[in-house]
Amino acid sequence: MPRLKCIVEYDGTKFVGWQRQLNGRSVQEAIEQAIERIAEKKIVIFGAGRTDTGVHAVHQVFHFDFNKDIDVKKITDALNFHLKNESISILKTELINNDFDARRDAKLRIYKYVIINRDSPLSIEKDRAWQLKIKLDEIKMNDAAQIFIGTHDFTTFRSASCGAKSPIKTMGKINIFRKDDYIYSYFESQSFLQHQVRSMMG
């Protein structure tokens, strides 16, 4: 069967994360249901990463094996049609070698965390950022965060329910900067633990 690689973006506000869960609707479940309508059979997708509840993603990769020969552009259009009531958009679909694995072959993951540092309440960003009213020093934050760069045991920063086999992770670049009331934090790593970045930012 042909293997397809898809690039997806989604607003995670109403989802319990990427991975299928018993306690709510996941991004994976929504996409698999859309594929099932096209393939007329259940198909499992494999994502490059698993975002947590309420976390958004841009340019996330997943793959799946399809049971029909079909134009990839039509696949993209068909998936987006069936996902039109979800906060999910398939940006691109392409045929890929059958040994490609979205998770295993991922070279880098970037986690973006946004703090809005102001007194007035949030409106359009209320589900996309953490608001703190106390004045923050982004330069000191960035300097302090550099201690996380390198290979460390991040047990302290993962959730109790984290299923990762090892808490040892290698953190690459960390960049924290301000633009007006927005403080942007970027973390680069091959993989992250559950709630790792949220805990580090706290």
Statement to judge: residues 92 and 114 lie in one domain: no
Task: From 157, 156, 147, 154, select the one nearest 169 (Cα to Cα).
Answer: 154
Q: What pLDDT does residue 78 have?
A: 96
Position 49 in a domain: yes
Question: Global pTM?
Answer: 0.86
C-alpha separations of 7 from 46, 57, 76, 179 in Å: 12, 10, 10, 29
Range of the domain at 20: 3-96
Provide the CATH number for the domain around residue 142: 3.30.70.660
- pLDDT (tens digit per residue) in 85-119: 999 999 999 999 999 999 999 999 999 999 999 99
Please identify, among 46, 70, 96, the residue that sits at the C-terminal boundary of a domain: 96
SS3 91: strand
Position 102 in a domain: no
Statement to judge: residues 92 and 8 lie in one domain: yes
Taking residues 23-47, report their average pLDDT.
95
Tokens of 142: 């960035």
Provide the CATH number for the domain around residue 83: 3.30.70.580
Amino acid at position 83, single letter: L
Q: Which residues contact 187 (CB under 8 A, 6 or more apart)?
A: 110, 111, 113, 171, 173, 174, 197, 200
Q: What pLDDT does residue 73 have?
A: 86
Give the residue numbers annotated as catalytic, written as ranges.
Answer: 52
Please identify, among 96, 126, 144, the residue that sits at the C-terminal boundary of a domain: 96
